[in-house]
Structure 1
Amino acid sequence: MAKTTSGRGATQNRESARFSTVERLADGDWLDMRDAVDGPAAKLRTTVTVEHPRTIITRNRSPDIGFDRSVNPYRGCEHGCIYCFARPTHAFHDLSPGLDFETKLFAKPSAPDLLRAELARPGYSVRPIAFGTNTDPYQPVEREWRITRRCIEILAETDHPLTITTKSDRVLRDLDLLAPMARKNLVAVMLSVTSLDPKIARTLEPRAPHPEKRLSAVAQLADRGIPVFVSISPIVPAITDHEMEHLLERAAQAGARSAFFIPVRLPHEVAPLFRDWLETHFPDRAGKVMATIRSLRGNRDNDPDFFNRMRGKGVWADLLRTRFHKACRKYGLDGERMSLRTDLFRPPRGPQGELFD
């Protein structure tokens, strides 16, 4: 059994050889107040390194993903979700997808300027830009760096559509930008809520906001007229699957328009990290969990094939889909899909453009 690290998701720093080559302030997330309650304990502190990318819009051609471009203001994520499929990206930096992914972050403060320049290019074709496709755009460091907000300011200025996926109620800090965009049908937000059990949430997503705070954010977004959806991904067999119907009921009560789920994915280094996590936190059912995951993934820890990776296959996958669709129909979450306007876009003005207004 691996040793746990206070307030972190991964139980260790598993090294990866595939690509060999600010400290934050407390803001109300899980365990931020532990010292005040239990006394001081040794902690791994978060560091942030400035990254200087040449471009900020990432393109993809994956046939099973509903967007073709995204912006990721940060690499790594302090939420520490053990299942995060983005963990292997830290191996590109010769860092571990384990604890390094949660504690050694990269910020891209030049992202807003790069975004403005890319939107101003002649021939730019408009489609919604997705935020939160790799790491969470509203993770704790956004409080100080505000890179996500500055990017959204540019999209609001140019009437460019965007989607946001997050598991943080920090998205409410940008209501002043998002509500006017929603009135033009330019934005949709998806909140991720994987469990309502505080004990499970604390270990599965140790530094993500409390599930009730996320559901409250769903309600507040809906009250402001912002199309809001709920993802209960990932479904972890024998850990969170029993909560599916109740999660969907609560999402509907909060005002979500629709819902979405994916069975847990364990690509590359995520699989051994997840196994260590299971043995540490759920040793009584670790074997059952992995056996079910493997049955969903073609007798492998992970199935990378398009479409199958999102849906799973086999008896367990069919059962999860049947339960999900039945609950969505029951709670009225099976209707609306995201559909945003693209015809309002106005290219951003450069420094010289104002001379000719």
Structure 2
Amino acid sequence: MSRPDSLLPGQRLRARGADTNRAGRYEATDRVAFDDGWDLPEDERLVATEVRLERPRSALSFNRSPDLPFDRSVNPYRGCEHGCIYCYARPSHAYLNLSPGLDFETRLIARPGIAAVLEGELRRPSYKVAPIAIGTNTDPYQPVERDHGLMREVLAVLAAFRHPVWITTRGTTIERDIDLIAPMAAEGLASVSISVTTLDEGLARRMEPRAPAPRRRLQIIERLARAGIPVRIQISPLIPALTDHELEAVMQAGRDAGARAANTIPLRLPREVADLFRRWLETTFPDRAARVMGRVRELHGGRDYDPEFGTRMRGQGLWAELIHRRADLARRRLGLGEGLPALRCDLFTPPPRRGDQLTLF
């Protein structure tokens, strides 16, 4: 018996977002699960997380997108064990000949040595400083960070160079690094965005199966804010007919926890994510799947996703306009801004290395 893009008979998923492992768009062949008649051993029934190592040749990744407030980023990991079904980063796994489905959340890539590579890039005479964004593709504080510590190594380099950094995460391990982030924030060199999509813990568990619960993420905001770190609550993605009614409540909860700013981005479903999300919807919320996808297409000009600059992260049409008006009204009422103060770039100074000639002045 064969089952296209599925699990083997007897295999089980626990706390996973995707239930399919279709090959990426660059693959010439697809995958078929085949029952050969042999029962699976107990330790192979659950789909486990596998971490491979990659020696990075570069650390900084540059972009020219007019939709983004940064032009460079660092990714200590590829793939993300949080398993958020809507994650727009899933298609990036196809470049590794891995599936944007289960592979994205179970076959991760850690990049040991990335901090040393970053240091070399920051020391280049041609380097021009600008804020580095971390966590804009996959989460730097996902569970594997506890074992590998790559994000802390990167932060140590940035702190030594007095380099500005903007971190986006929903992972609790960021609390471990408050000792590095707080002194940088005191100099205007660091700010953090914490992603909270819903306050409904049941929905969060199904939609973001290995991410911290919403109340725990609010606690992260509280602890960062108490340490003097500027925090923004990022209500992204906002999903029509599923989480959009919570917009004001999530903002309120973030403000009460200590966030200084709030922002929201409507749901985006690029490439393989559209099919993965639709399949999850039909399984988890069959009563409203058609309504949700209908509103998504309304938001993106009749398509599952509109990749055009200027509209891809804002949406278009009446629903998008109403959402952004609601967000503006809520921010004004709660005393929140849309963004945090600009980070300083004038303090950047490569630290001396052993053997360097000292300056006279």
- Counterpart of 1:218 in structure 2 is 221
Q: CA deviation at 1:325?
A: 1.1
2:94 is aligned with 1:86: no
Q: Aligned residues: percent identity?
A: 53
Q: How does 1:92-171 map to 2 (within 5 A)?
A: 92-171=95-174
- Counterpart of 2:345 in structure 1 is 342
Distance in 1, Cα, partners of 2:177 & 2:135: 15
1:149-184 Cα distance to aligned partner (Å, 9 max, x none): 000001111111100000112111101001111111
2:51 is aligned with 1:48: yes
Decide which of 189, 195, 202 is 1:192's aligned counterpart.
195
2:69 is aligned with 1:69: no
- Counterpart of 1:28 in structure 2 is none
2:253 is aligned with 1:250: yes
Higher relative contact order (CA 8 A, sep 6+): 1
CA, structure 1 residues 109+328, in 2 after alignment: closer, same or farther (shift >3 Å)? same
- Counterpart of 2:36 in structure 1 is none
2:13 is aligned with 1:5: yes
Distance in 1, Cα, partners of 2:67 & 2:255: 26
Tell me the secondary structure at the aligned position of residue 133 of structure 2.
Answer: strand
Aligned residues: 337
Q: CA deviation at 1:351?
A: 4.7
Distance in 1, Cα, partners of 2:346 & 2:28: 45
Q: RMSD in angstroms over aligned alpha carbons?
A: 1.8
Tell me the secondary structure at the aligned position of residue 232 of structure 1.
Answer: strand
- Counterpart of 1:280 in structure 2 is 283
2:336 is aligned with 1:333: yes
Tell me the secondary structure at the aligned position of residue 231 of structure 1.
Answer: strand
1:25-82 Cα distance to aligned partner (Å, 9 max, x none): xxxxxxxxxxxxxxx9942111111112211100011011000100000000000000
2:43 is aligned with 1:17: no
Q: Which moved more, 1:12-21 or 1:113-122?
A: 12-21
Q: How does 1:263-342 map to 2 (within 5 A)?
A: 263-334=266-337, 337-342=340-345
Distance in 1, Cα, partners of 2:22 & 2:295: 24
1:278-317 Cα distance to aligned partner (Å, 9 max, x none): 0110011000000000000000000000120110001111
Distance in 2, Cα, partners of 1:14 & 1:235: 26
Tell me the secondary structure at the aligned position of residue 163 of structure 1.
Answer: strand
Tell me the secondary structure at the aligned position of residue 192 of structure 2.
Answer: strand
Tell me the secondary structure at the aligned position of residue 237 of structure 1.
Answer: coil
Distance in 2, Cα, partners of 1:335 & 1:6: 37
Distance in 1, Cα, partners of 2:338 & 2:22: 42
Distance in 2, Cα, partners of 1:294 & 1:287: 11
Q: How does 1:167-186 map to 2 (within 5 A)?
A: 167-186=170-189
- Counterpart of 1:230 in structure 2 is 233
Q: Which runs of 5+ in 2 are unaligned?
A: 1-5, 30-42
* Structure 2 counterpart of 1:73, one-letter code: P
* Structure 1 counterpart of 2:130, one-letter code: R
CA, structure 1 residues 305+158, in 2 after alignment: closer, same or farther (shift >3 Å)? same
- Counterpart of 1:207 in structure 2 is 210
Distance in 2, Cα, partners of 1:296 & 1:335: 21
CA, structure 1 residues 233+335, in 2 after alignment: closer, same or farther (shift >3 Å)? closer
Distance in 2, Cα, partners of 1:42 & 1:323: 46
Q: Give the conservation status (yes or no) of the 8 Å contact 1:19–1:92.
A: no
- Counterpart of 1:27 in structure 2 is none
Tell me the secondary structure at the aligned position of residue 312 of structure 2.
Answer: helix
The structure with the largest alpha-carbon Rg is 2
CA, structure 1 residues 103+192, in 2 after alignment: closer, same or farther (shift >3 Å)? same
1:97-120 Cα distance to aligned partner (Å, 9 max, x none): 000000000011110110110011
Q: Give the conservation status (yes or no) of the 8 Å contact 2:160–2:350.
A: no
Q: Give the conservation status (yes or no) of the 8 Å contact 1:228–1:257.
A: yes
Distance in 1, Cα, partners of 2:278 & 2:352: 51
Distance in 1, Cα, partners of 2:339 & 2:305: 30
